[in-house]
Every structure is written in structure tokens, then in C-alpha cells.
Amino acid sequence: MRLRFLQFLPLIIFTILTSCKASKHIVPTTTIPAVENTYINTYKDIAVSEMKRTGIPASIILAQGMIESDEGRSSLARVANNHFGIKCHNDWTGGKVYHDDDSRNECFRRYTRAEDSFYDHSDFLRSVPRYSFLFSLSRTDYKGWAHGLKKAGYATNPAYDNMLIRTIESKNLHFFDTGYNPATGGQKSQVAVKKPATLPDTGRIIVPVSRVDENNLVVAHVPRVQENNNLKYIIVRDGDTREKIEEEFQLLGLELSRYNDLKNDFTVSPGQILYIQPKKDKAEAGKEFYTTVEGDSMYLISQRYGIKLKSLYKMNRMQENAEPAPGSMIWLRSIRPVN
């Protein structure tokens, strides 16, 4: 019996040693992989900082930057520090470069630093009405943000949302949204993230008002006049009055209220979206429908897409002052068919 045991002793010892060696490589399920990506390590801090300032998930910011700039290798990123492919638009007064995109020789913004591209990207999403519904989502809902960006027409690629999700999950970017830092093997981030403000029925949106906030976070400048549905609009600032706005943009007494479907005696409030041109009867091409979420109203949708409120009610065969339930499909360019 003892001889039989000794016969198998080498095999038993080998099995034990092999098991011990293998156990050293077992990774607990709670361990977060360290980051081995230069782009992520370079820009993760600014992404988390922008999440804190604006409410946009850090994972979305990083994934968009990685995709749009080819992880910093694109000519726009290298020559113009433009990591998000932001075009000049009419109100851009900074540096410019020209690059073939949807059309030949299109104008793109040129930045002194790559960080300025990140700030501008965040402020662009915060200030354009068609993206405002995204800020009702949780900062940890990266899938909702990805699908929402596609829905709002951020990119023409029909697979853009899936590209974002694959990038986020393959690179573990979603851990940045929860306060964990993959670069330190799962240590908690010291950056506290505030819940973003939502856009109420007045068309109000919170925007930065200074270059540096109380946490020493750099704030990019939001242009005074912006565009939506090929219409010019502004966001009311602190200190603005209705009279000052009318004088600044040479508007007659009732034009501002008429352009924005407001009562003649309305008063302005900081953060309010005001069109300085008449809204249109339908949304821009490609914006056929909108599915409502909790807190939406017909007025809010009309401001978001630059559509006259009366036209929006008419297209959707709704009585004026009626409001849609969450999950309703609102038609933006044509009359809803009769069921």
C-alpha cells in the first residue's frame, strides 16, 4: 500500500504545484483592468472633469474622441487639435482648417490645445436643443446616450451607436462613469459628479457663464448666437432683459414673443432658449420623429426642433394645450397618418 502511494507521489506533487501556480493568476471579479491605452491615459482626466461639469458620461466623451480622431491619429487631431470633428459654423471666430468630409474643402475648427476641443464638444452638446433630452439620462447609462446621439443625428453612420458601445465595453470606459478609475486598478476617483440639470418647459438650459468655475475647471465659451433647424437662437445670460435683447438684435416689440410662442408680457430668465427668427413649420431633413420621455411637453419639443407650436400640434392631430404621454411618437415633418 505504501509502495502504491509512493508510486503516485510525483503526480500528486505536480498537481498541487500546478494548482498553486495557476491560482496566482486568478483575477477576482471585482478587479478592474488597468488601462494600457495612450489615448485613454492622456484624456481620461479631462473626460471625468467634463462629466462633472456638464453631466455627459466620461465613457461617451472618451469613446467619441477615440472614434472621431482615430485615437488622436487623424489629420484633424494632429494638425488642428480637433478630436470631435467639430465644424466651424457661422459663429466661429477661432482658427480654421479645411478638410474634405460630407463635401469638399469643409471648414473645421482649429484649437490651440486638444483640451479645448473637449470643452467645445461638451458645450456643443449642452447648447444645441436637439441633444437636450440626453441630459435626463443617468451618467451611467452609456447605452442610452449612444442610442440617443444616433437618434439626434450626431453622425451619419447608421452603426454609430454600436461603435460607441463596442468601444466603451472593449476598453472598460464605463468604469469612469461610476467613479472608478481603471488606470489605477480600480481605485475610486476623487471627482464628485453632480446630476445634470434638465430642460424644463420654458426652454431653459444651464450653460457656463465664466472661464473657470469654483473647482478650477476650465469652461469653454458658448457662442452668443447659435443655430438649430437653420434658425438663429440665443441662450439668455445673467443680466439680460427683454429690452436689451430686442435692442441688441434689432427686434420689434412683439417679435420675440411671437417667434418663441410666448405671451406678449413674458419675462426672460437666464438659461432660456430664445429664437431671434420665426420658427419653421417642420423640423430639418432627417428629423422625422421624436419619442417623448418623462417631462417632455409640446412646447419643449417645439423649441428643441425649432418648430412652430401650432404646426407641431397640427402635424400630430392634437388639440392645443394637450400634452403627450412618455413614449409617444411625435411627428416632426409630416402629418400623422390616421389609424
pLDDT, position 2: 45
Q: Read off the pLDDT band of 71 (50, 70, 90).
A: very high
Q: Is 146 helix (H, G, I), strand (E, B) or coil?
A: helix
Q: Read off the pLDDT band of 115 (50, 70, 90).
A: confident
Is residue 333 over pLDDT 70?
Answer: yes
Predicted confidence (pLDDT) per residue in 279-291, tens digit: 999 998 888 888 8
Instruction: Output the nine-digit C-alpha cell for 115.
Output: 483640451
CA-nearest of 50, 57, 62 to 213 is 50
Neighbours of 118 (CB within 10 A): 25
- Facing residues of 226 across strands? 233
List all residues 6 or more positions away from 21 whose beta carbon is below 8 Å from its beta carbon: none
DSSP secondary structure code for residue 65 in this structure:
H
CA distance 46 to 262: 39
Q: Read off the pLDDT band of 23 (50, 70, 90).
A: very low
CA distance 268 to 236: 7
The stretch 233-262 carries a mean pLDDT of: 88
CB 121 within 8 Å of CB 64 = yes
pLDDT, position 106: 83
CB 115 within 8 Å of CB 259 = no
CB 285 within 8 Å of CB 258 = no
The stretch 164-173 carries a mean pLDDT of: 93
Domains of the chain (ranges, CATH numbers): 38-188 (1.10.530.10), 289-331 (3.10.350.10)
- HEC profile for 78-124? HHHCCCCCCECCCCCCCEEEEECCCCCCEEEEECCCHHHHHHHHHHH
The stretch 97-107 carries a mean pLDDT of: 74
Pairing verdict, β 273-275 and 289-291: unpaired
